Amino acid sequence: MSGFLFQKRKGNTSEVNDLQSDGRNALNNPLSSASFDMQLDENEEKVILHPIAKSDPKLQQLQHVLIDWINDVLVDERIIVKCLEDDLYDGQVLQKLLEKLGNHKLNVAEVTQSTVSQRQKLQTVLNSVDQLLKYRQEKIKWNVDLIHSKCLWGILHLLVALVNHFDAPIQLPQDVSVALLVLKKTPAGMTSEPKQEIIVGSNLYVFFFFLSDKAF
């Protein structure tokens, strides 16, 4: 299982039960995203986006705010982002965004088409991000595998970190989390457990998270 810090959303028992019920229904539905391509080995786990996640209004608002911000920053580059997962996975937009924000040219190829070259470029870009942010390793919630596989929560974590570091003139919605499913193949069959991945906490949460990431 990945090293993400999962936290359950605070709420009543019925809310948790609804998530669990939705998770079971997703596994039982062969057309759902939760049951798609789940070729797991025995006792292997896989974390996927919950089928209900993208219907969350706060998550939708966060994505819209981040997309507008990226497009504003890159307006001179004539780059228009419409979907975070589809437009950021190969590192091209992230490269331009980091160069613009940091006023520093990265030593990477401008155009990459093969999967290998995309991942190499993405690794260079993420290395630059990590050096810039100076987060402790256990606090970094993105990597090449997550971004290149179009993992929404990994991309959101990265963008929110950049927004905070560069003190972007935008207002992020508070208390935003992503509903996930942890799938596990057991001798008895596939099991699912709903989890909540916090992307943006309250103002107080963000303040203490920033302090903890800068601590040595």
Task: Give the tens place of pLDDT for each residue, 132-147.
Answer: 999 888 889 999 999 9
Number of Cβ within a 10 Å radius of residue 149: 10
pLDDT in tens, 47-73: 999 999 999 999 999 999 999 999 999
Domain ranges within the chain, ordered by starting residue: 13-214
Looking at per-residue pLDDT, the higher value among 110 and 14 belongs to 110
CA distances from 22 to 27, 52, 189 (A): 9, 8, 18
The residue with tokens 């990459």 is: 112
Number of Cβ within a 10 Å radius of residue 178: 22
Under the banding of pLDDT at 50, 70 and 90, the label for residue 203 is low
Stated pTM of the model = 0.77
Closest by CA to 59, choosing from 147, 143, 159, is 159
Is the domain defined by 13-214 classed in CATH 3.10.290.10? Answer: no
Q: Quote the DSSP letter at residue 72.
A: H
